[in-house]
Amino acid sequence: MKSLPNRSIPLGILAFGFFVVLQVLISCGQKPAQEIVQTGSKPERVSIAEIEEGIKAYIVREKEANGGYFLVNDEKRQLRLKLVRVHTEYLSNLGPSKHFACVDLADEKGDVYDVDFFMEGEPGAMQVTETSLHKLNGKPFYSWKQMVDKTWRRVPVETSTSDLLGVREGSDNFTFFYTAKIPKLTKPAKAWIPIAQSDDFQDIQLVSMKAPGKQQLLEEKQNGNFILFLELSPADSDKELEITYQVQRVEKAPYEAELPADHPYLEPNLLMPIGGRFEEIAKEAIKGKENDGHLVHARALYDYIIDNMRYMKFGKYGRGDSNYACDSKTGNCTEFHSFFISLARSIGIPARFAIGASIPSDRNEGGIDGYHCWAEFYAEGKWWPVDISEGNKYTALATYYFGRHPANRIELSRGRDLDIQPLPASGPINFLAYPLVEMDGEQIFPLTTFSFERKN
C-alpha cells in the first residue's frame, strides 16, 4: 500500500569546506536567434549583464520620449506599456554584435505582454532592430523552432508540435543547476532549501553541492520532503549556494495508489481554505453532473478555472492564495492550482500540490524561467496529474494536461504549510522552491537562478 510514489532517502551528508554531498539511495533559457541568423562561433561574446543594460537603456529612452510609456503597435492598436522585468534567463548572443532579449511589459489594465527584442551593436551603443509581441498573459502568439542550420523560425501555435509548446513525452535526461546568492547579512541568518528526491517518476543523482554556513539535513515527514537547513553569519554575505542534479524523468500519467487513513488531502491549508464560497463555486461547476463521480467533477473544475482565470503576473500573485485567485481570477501557476485544490477539497475530492521547475523542451541548455507548480487529485483509485496554468496557456494541450505531466520537469518539494524543525519565524513554510532566508525574523530574498543542460 502506498499513498505517494516511493521517495529515496539521503544516506548522509559529507562536508568538504563549503561542499556538501548528499548520497541518494536510488540511483523565455536561451531564447531563439532571429530568423535566418546563424548562431555560430563569436569572436568575443558580449556579457549577459551588458545585454540587459542595453535593453533597459533602450526602454528608458523610449519611455522618456513617449510620456513615460513604451509604445508597441499590434495589429489593432498602439499599446502603452510599463516595464515589469527583463528575462535575464533569456538574454543571449546571436552572433557578432547581434543580441536577443525578452521583456515583460504591462499596460494600464494589468495585461502583461512578453516582447521579443533583437538588437545589434556593442555595449553602450545597442540599437533595437526588431520588436515582436510573443505572448499575452502567458499565452503565445507563436512558438520558435530551431532549424538544422541552427537558425530559428517562428511557427504558428496552431501548427506547433508538442515539443514546441513545452512538452517532452516519454522520458527526459538532463542536468539541473540550482544557484542562489546569499544577500548582504548584518546579523546571523537561517535558510531552508528544498532537496530534490527520487520517486517513481524521477531518478535524482546529486552531483555536487556547495553551501555556506553550518549545514543540517531536515526531514519534513508529512509530505516526505528533505530540506537543507543553513545557519549563516555576516561572513557568508554574497557567497553562493550551488546544487547540481543529474535527473532522469519519465512522463507522469494517472497511477494507482491507496489513500492513507489519515491523509490530509481534504483539509484546508492557510492559503487554501475550503467550504463557503469555494464549495458554492464547485457545486455550480458540476451542476447536472452530481452523480457522475470525482473524475468527471475534477474535469469540470479544471475547465471552470481555464474558462474563468487569466494567467497574469500582476498584483499580489505568486503566494498560492485561493482567496486572491477567486477574487481577481488572475495569477500564476500557484494561484491556478491553489484555487483548484480549494474547489476540489470542498466537494470531497482529495487534491495536493507540488512545485519544482519546468525544463524547456525546444532547446538543450540555458536558463529556466523560475519555478513551476502543479497539482494532483484522487479519483477511481488513482492519482491524476493536472497542470491547469499550462492548459490555460496552450489550448491545444488542455486535454493533455488533464491527467499528464510531461517528462521535462523536476519536482523539488511537495505540499503546503511545511512543518519543519527548526521552523521559520513566519511559521510553517507556504511552499518551498526558492531558498527561504530569514534574518532577525524577517524574510530576505537571495537572487536565485535555475538552468539546465540536456543530454542528447
Write out pLDDT tens, residues 183-200: 999 999 999 999 999 999
Using the predicted structure, report yes or no on whether residue 1 has a pLDDT greater than 70: no
Listed in sequence order, the residues at least 6 apart from 340 whose beta carbon sits closer than 8 Å to its beta carbon are 301, 302, 305, 351, 375, 377, 386, 388
- In degrees and rounded to multiples of 5, residue 285 shows phi and psi of -65, -30
pLDDT tens per residue across span 231-269: 999 999 999 999 999 999 999 999 999 888 778 999 999
User: Which is nearest to 264 in space by CA: 381, 380, 346, 351?
Assistant: 351
State the alpha helices, DSSP H only, in 124-201: none
Q: Crossing angle for the helix pair 333-346 and 294-308, nearest 10 degrees?
A: 140
Asked whether 110 and 116 are in contact (CB, 8 A), the reply is: no
Rounded to an integer, the average pLDDT of 297-313 is 94
Burial (CB count <10 Å: 0-12, 13-18, 19+), residue 241: buried
Distance CA 316, CA 285 (A): 26
- Whole-number Å distance between alpha carbons of 355 and 196: 10
- 126, burial (CB in 10 Å: exposed 0-12, middle 13-18, buried 19+): buried
Name the residue type at position 213. Answer: G
The pair phi, psi for residue 187, each rounded to 5°, is: -145, 170
Cα separation of 146 and 154, whole Å? 9
* pLDDT higher than 60, residue 181: yes
The label of the residue with cell 520558435 reads: 144
Instruction: Give the span between the Cα atoms of 298 and 346, in whole angstroms.
Output: 11
Chain Cα centroid distance, residue 32: 20
Arithmetic mean of pLDDT over the chain: 85
**Does residue 25 register a pLDDT over 50?**
no
Instruction: Compute the average pLDDT of residues 376-383.
Output: 94
How many Å apart are CA 351 and CA 345, to the nearest integer? 6
Most confident of 27-31, 84-88, 131-135, 329-333: 329-333
Angle between helices 333-346 and 276-285 (to 10 degrees): 90
376-411 in b/e burial notation, b at 16+ Cβ within 10 A? bbbbeebbbbbbbbbbbbbeebbebbbbbbbbbbbb
Q: At what angle do helices 294-308 and 276-285 cross, to 10 degrees?
A: 100
Q: Above 80 in pLDDT, residue 386? A: yes
Does the reported pTM lie above 0.85?
no
Q: What are phi and psi of 54, to 5 degrees?
A: -65, -45
C-beta pairs of 324-332 under 8 Å, 24+ apart in sequence: 326/277, 326/278, 326/281, 330/110, 332/389
Q: Residues of the chain with pLDDT > 70: what percent?
A: 88
Instruction: Evaluate the omega torsion of the peptide bond into residue 424 and state whether it is cis, within 30 degrees of 0.
Output: no
Q: What is the mean pLDDT of residues 258-281?
A: 94
* Residue 44, pLDDT score: 58
In the CATH scheme, what architecture does the domain 255-414 have?
Roll (3.10)
Q: Residue 310: which of 392, 387, 369 has the closest Cα? A: 392
The H or E element that residue 62 is part of is helix 48-65
Strand partners, 411: 356
DSSP 157: G
| Unique residue bearing C-alpha cell 532592430 | 129
Please, which contacts does 312-316 make with residues 24 or more away whose CB atoms are closer than 8 Å?
A: 312/110, 312/111, 312/112, 312/137, 312/138, 313/84, 313/104, 313/112, 313/138, 314/106, 314/110, 314/112, 315/110
d(CA 155, CA 140): 11
Domain boundaries, the chain: 48-150, 255-414
Q: CA separation (Å) from 172 to 246, 247, 248, 271, 357?
A: 11, 8, 6, 33, 14
Question: pLDDT tens across 72-116, in order?
Answer: 877 778 888 888 778 776 677 777 788 888 888 888 777 778 888
CA separation for the pair 368, 174 (Å, rounded): 13
Instruction: Starting at the earlier edge strand, list the strands of the sheet with 351-358.
Output: 255-256, 382-386, 372-379, 351-358, 409-414
